[in-house]
């Protein structure tokens, strides 16, 4: 059977509307996953836009609609810092969401370890949790993604080797232009998800967004190369990002 990707684009008036739409999409996919498998596997990203979503999901209006004991939280990427460091993606999600709801199943990337050791440990964890045979990739129910002004997503950057790695689930890499060590899921993992939701806001993202959404162009940007096989690819953007 030929593979395909179901693509949709949603444009909201404001960043607040963007967060609300993304929250409802997460809840929908949560309901579908629990009906299918009795659990919901969700991979989180860092950044301002996902943080707004986390805070919204923690409010009573949304919090009551999710059976948190059935949600398994994972991370798309992490900076190689202590979990209490201000730059930690885990810390942001912990403070904005996980400690505000009854979340008990969350599995962070251990950024405080040696990067290569942390990447291998997280790969081992995913292989165990998803009961993977050699050569298989986990199938997350939902992956939340952002996009940088350079077109990077997760910690897969243009001109860095990580975007081309095909035989790993998780890799560590030095982002040279940022002088930063990162741990990230690989592109094959993102492209094996049931659903990837990109959240992009702000006029500064307009130019790269126009390139990323050009389906006829050669996919040069990491964000362009995210196309879940037999899954959904959802872009949620605000009016500022659309207009520039």
Query: For residue 114, what are the contacts with CB-CB under 8 A and spacing of at least 6?
Result: none
Write the pLDDT tens digit of every residue in 194-206. 999 999 999 999 9
1 pLDDT more than 80: no
Mean pLDDT of the region 7-14: 98
Q: Nearest 5 degrees, angle CA 82-CA 73-CA 122?
A: 55
* Element counts in the chain: helices (H) and strands (E): 8, 9
Residues above pLDDT 90, as percent of the chain? 94
Mean pLDDT of the region 49-69: 97
Residue range 5-243 in CATH 3.40.50.1360: yes
pTM, full prediction: 0.97
Mean pLDDT of the region 59-66: 97
Position 3 scores a pLDDT of: 80
Q: Which residue has the tokens 């998800």?
A: 193
Position 48 scores a pLDDT of: 86
C-alpha to C-alpha distance for 149 and 153, rounded to whole angstroms: 10
Position 217 scores a pLDDT of: 87
Strand order in the sheet with 231-238: 5-12, 231-238, 195-200, 142-145, 40-44, 71-75
pLDDT band at 192 (very low <50, low <70, confident <90, very high): very high
215 pLDDT more than 90: no
What does DSSP assign to residue 50?
A: H
Contact 40, 28 (CB under 8 A): no
Write the pLDDT tens digit of every residue in 83-138. 999 999 999 999 999 999 989 999 999 999 999 999 999 999 999 999 999 999 99
């Amino acid at each position: 059977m030929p593979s395909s990707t179901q693509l949709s684009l949603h444009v909201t008036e404001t960043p607040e509307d963007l967060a609300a739409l993304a929250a409802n999409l997460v809840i929908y996919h949560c309901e579908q996953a629990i009906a299918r498998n009795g659990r919901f596997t969700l991979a989180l990203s860092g950044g301002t836009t996902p943080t707004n979503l986390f805070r919204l999901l923690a409010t009573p209006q949304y919090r009551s609609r999710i059976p948190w004991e059935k949600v398994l939280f994972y991370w798309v990427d992490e900076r190689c810092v202590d979990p209490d460091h201000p730059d930690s993606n885990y810390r942001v999600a912990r403070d904005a969401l996980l400690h505000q709801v009854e979340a008990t199943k969350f599995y962070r990337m251990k950024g405080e370890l040696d990067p290569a050791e942390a990447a291998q440990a997280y790969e081992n964890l995913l292989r165990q949790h998803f009961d993977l045979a050699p050569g298989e990739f986990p199938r997350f129910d939902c992956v939340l993604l952002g996009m940088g002004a350079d077109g990077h997503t997760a910690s897969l950057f243009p001109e860095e080797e990580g975007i081309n790695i095909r035989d790993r689930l998780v890799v560590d890499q030095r982002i040279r232009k940022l002088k930063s060590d990162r741990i990230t899921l690989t592109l094959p993992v993102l492209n094996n998800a049931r659903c990837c939701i990109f959240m992009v806001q702000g006029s500064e993202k307009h130019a790269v967004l126009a390139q990323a959404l050009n389906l006829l162009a050669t996919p040069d940007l990491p964000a362009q190369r995210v196309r879940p096989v037999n899954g959904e690819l959802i872009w949620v953007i605000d009016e500022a990002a659309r207009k520039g």
